[in-house]
Amino acid sequence: MSENTIRLPDTSKLVISSSPHLHEDDSVRRIMFMVILALLPACIAGAWFFGPRALWVLLVCVASCVACEILCTRLMGREVHVSDGSAALTGLLLGMNLPVTTPTWICVIGSAIAIVLGKMIYGGLGYNPFNPALVGRVALLLAFPTVMTTWIAPMTRRLEWAGVNSVTQATPLGVSELTAGTLPFSYWDLFWGRTGGCIGETCVPALLLGGIFLIALNIIRWHVPVFYLATVAIITGVTHWLAPAQCAPPLYHLLSGGLMLGAFFMATDMVTTPLSRKGAVVFAVGCGVLTSVIRIWGSYPEGVSFSILIMNSLTPLIDRWTAGKPFGTPRRAPREVKP
Amino acid sequence: MIKQLHFYGGIHPVEDKVAQSVPIVEPPILETYMVPLQQHIGAPAKAVVAKGDQVKRGQLLGEAQGFVSAPVHAPTSGVIREVTTCLGPSGAQVPALLLASDGEDAPADPMPAIDWHQASPGDLRQRISAAGIVGKGGAAFPTVVKLSPPPNKKIDTLILNGVECEPCLTADHRLMLERAADIVTGAQITARILGAKKIIIGIENNKPDAIEVMRQAGADYGIEVCSLRVRYPQGAEKQLIYAVTGRKVPSGGLPADIGCLVQNVGTAAAIADAVCLGKPLYERVTTVTGTPLVSPGNWRFRVGTTYSEAIKLAGGVKEDPIKIISGGPMMGMAVYSLDIPIIKSTSGILLLSKDELTQFAVRPCIRCGRCNDSCPMGMMPGILSVQIENQRYELAEKWHVMDCIECGCCAYTCPASRPLVQHLRRAKAEVQAARRAAKAKAEK
């Protein structure tokens, strides 16, 4: 080849940056939208059981969260990044944790609390210590206890909006029969979601589908749901064995309340849970212990929200405990002085 | 084959070993060579020739300054046109000699050949020092220093690094295929110097031909080949030692602390040349590759060959690259000029096209933990990066930032596209400066 046809690169537009010069094809936005996608089966199930108003609640929560984040970011004088999907995800999770009868204005308040007090005042994405959706939910639970604990039976208002014919029903964990020794719902009812409850928490197969999808894509750690559920199963198994008349069997506990939703989608929230695998296991076991304790001995029928929030507060400590020593023996070998 | 252990973490980037099947080519003699006097870690060499001097190939151009230093030799015969400075890959100017070749490539008298079976370790070390041998894996640490561990640290295992875990680089692969016997000889010489009883060669199993060739070459000498699972950074010293022997280099320590020493296969071949042929180090095999190039390959360049010459030999470019990297894509340095010369440690020149450029806006750490999952040293780069952003370097030191080997696995996996390696490097520099200041204060 003659010299004339060899072309040298033009160096005037070369980019300089630090190594590494390769990057995996992933982003925060992709992660958030994958989680949203994984939640959709449970949302659809919620709409199926509780009627079209469920979709309205979810929509209001998502829209309010996104609006609040935009407003807050502008007030903080920062670049708006709602397109990364984290506000939408918070809205969706909050909505899935509300009963279908929640009035619209309460949904908006919950969303505002979730975004403003649960995330933005700490500096936005990545800096909040508590799960924002749970902050919103628990705030609503404490501020509007009656609204937040009124449940309707599923399939009673599937095609209705106003719900004049809806029937209220206690949730699987709220029934008093639990302490009388007989189970009010069959395991199949619990599994498919033919019970009262929050919009997104009842249909187990829909939640499992989403959860396994996320584990397969390596977006959430399998350690968290496995250890969380196993801990609850073990503790409730022991209590049921010791007092079968007062305590429900472990499978009943696993399939009721917000445990499945919490184990797969709330306790796996990256920002508020420990960074390492070891830390995630400690977190999950802690959640399992607290959930079981609150359910069995506490006055609230459901313990998932509180247990996750309490463990969130311990996350920095868990991180420090599980930071571990880097690769190499623990004792620092003194550097030899070279001759 | 030894049972190998898998180190924690690491990543599996696309291997892209396009130049794998291209044999090493001996390039023609160029018109000029810009020979830096600093091609190694340590004090630069001091020029012993002046402007206008005639030199022959292999003649001493600069002598080592102190123990942690190395001499520099002429890549070809010719005249010293200038004593000047040139651009190095890190962007700094380094002292250099501009050599105008006379085209004859006449050799200087070689150093006498040594029968290494009989020679003392001291004589062998002397020869390695005189030949200017430095680590050719990329670090360019003067080999004579590495081969002189303190007397209380006995080395029993020599590990040859034929892993070449960086994507795109294939120089070591071709070297193993084409110079297996010399690598084996060099390994034996090194083992004799150290008194090591065992020699193991680590090669990633995406190079089955090299594994077979080295196995045959080393069979008669009791040299084992350990076939390693492909994972970046398997070729990093600590990870390689762990995979091959199961021993862990202590945090803050050196391989010699656990009786091991790692040497690049290129360094071994250079040692064989120096001892058996009396040839000093003035050339190395470099991979020139990348999608914008017309014909990627591997060449045995003389030091002082500029990157523009190297790219010309690779047929030039089809399209303008967006990045030119000295080294591999995970740990190499991006450069802005083609006037940089190839030195003893230049393992590759990589060109990236515009489609391959990864440039994203930095987002806050979402604590996903992928950095920790992929860190071969078990650190938490995400947490460290937030500390460093807030200039809490003393916190970073507590969270083990000094153990970072700058491999790039964390930044590769970070979905928030954070410049983690840049942060960690900054923190390491700050911590070292603080330590030095504290030491100076304590000594007052």
Q: Residue B161 falls within a domain, yes or no? A: yes
Residues B270 and B376 occupy one common structural domain: no
Which among B238, B261, B277 is the end of a domain?
B277
Q: Residue B191 falls within a domain, yes or no? A: yes
The pLDDT value recorded for residue A339 is 44
Report, as an integer, the average pLDDT of B204-223. 92
User: Could you tell me the sign of the dihedral formed by the alpha carbons of B114, B116, B117, B123, in that order?
Assistant: positive
Identify the CA nearest to A35 among candidates A88, A72, A78, A79: A88
Topology at the third CATH level for domain A28-318:
Ammonium transporter fold (1.10.3430)
- pLDDT per position as a tens digit, B135-177: 998 889 999 999 999 989 999 999 999 999 999 999 999 999 9
pLDDT at B361 over 90: no
Q: Residue B394 falls within a domain, yes or no? A: yes
**How far A265 CA lies from chain B's nearest CA (Å)?**
14
pLDDT at A334 over 70: no
Q: Residue B259 falls within a domain, yes or no? A: yes
A24 neighbourhood in chain B, CB within 8 Å: 11, 13, 412-413, 415
pLDDT at A1 over 60: no
pLDDT at B352 over 90: yes
The pLDDT value recorded for residue A45 is 93
| Structural domain for B266, as ranges | 112-277
On whether the CB atoms of residues B182 and B269 are closer than 8 A, the answer is yes
The pLDDT value recorded for residue A157 is 58
- pLDDT per position as a tens digit, A87-112: 999 999 999 999 999 999 999 999 99
Which among B277, B310, B329 is the end of a domain?
B277
Q: Residue B436 falls within a domain, yes or no? A: yes
Identify the CA nearest to B393 among candidates B439, B426, B436: B426
Residues B248 and B118 occupy one common structural domain: yes
Structural domain count of chain B: 2
- pLDDT per position as a tens digit, B392-428: 999 999 999 999 999 999 999 999 999 999 999 999 9
Q: Residue B98 falls within a domain, yes or no? A: no
Residues B375 and B230 occupy one common structural domain: no
- pLDDT per position as a tens digit, B238-258: 999 999 998 999 888 899 999
Specify the 3-state DSSP secondary structure of B199.
strand
Phi, psi (rounded to 5 degrees) for B125: -60, -40
Q: Residue B246 falls within a domain, yes or no? A: yes
Q: Looking at the complex, does the CB of residue A293 fall below 8 Å from at least one CB of chain B?
A: no
C-alpha A130/C-alpha A132 separation (Å) is: 6
Q: Looking at the complex, does the CB of residue A33 fall below 8 Å from at least one CB of chain B?
A: no
- pLDDT per position as a tens digit, A198-245: 999 989 999 999 999 999 999 999 999 999 999 999 999 999 899 887
The pLDDT value recorded for residue A337 is 44
Residues B241 and B381 occupy one common structural domain: no
Query: How far, rounded to the nearest angstrom, does the alpha carbon of residue A338 sit from its chain's CA centroid?
Result: 55
C-alpha A300/C-alpha A307 separation (Å) is: 12
Could you give the ipTM of this predicted complex? 0.89
Q: Hey, which bits of B129-192 come out as E strands?
A: 157-161
Q: Exposure pattern of A181-199 as b/e (b: 16+ CB <10 Å)?
A: eebbbeeebbbbbbbbbbb
SS3 content of chain B, % helix, strand, coil (to 5): 30, 20, 45
- Ordered by start, the domain boundaries in chain A are 28-318
DSSP string computed for A134-185:
HHHHHHHHHHSHHHHT--B-TTSSTT-SS-TT--B---TTT-THHHHT--SS
Which among B277, B303, B323 is the end of a domain?
B277
Phi, psi (rounded to 5 degrees) for A281: -65, -45
DSSP string computed for B268-325:
HHHHHIIIII-----EEEEEEE-TTBSS-EEEEEETT-BHHHHHHHTT-BSS--SEEE
Q: Looking at the complex, does the CB of residue A333 fall below 8 Å from at least one CB of chain B?
A: yes
Nearest-Cα residue of chain B relative to residue A19:
B331
Nearest-Cα residue of chain A relative to residue B168:
A22
Q: How many CB atoms lie within 10 A of CB A38?
A: 23
Helices A223-242 and A277-297, axial angle in degrees (round to 10)? 30
Cα end-to-end distance, chain A, whole Å: 54
Helix (H) or strand (E) holding A210: helix A204-216
The pLDDT value recorded for residue A333 is 44
The pLDDT value recorded for residue A169 is 65
Q: Residue B355 falls within a domain, yes or no? A: no
Q: What percent of chain B has pLDDT over 90?
A: 85
C-alpha B90/C-alpha B140 separation (Å) is: 14
Report, as an integer, the average pLDDT of A282-289. 97
Report, as an integer, the average pLDDT of A167-181. 62
Instruction: Flag if A18 and B380 touch (Cβ within 8 Å).
Output: no
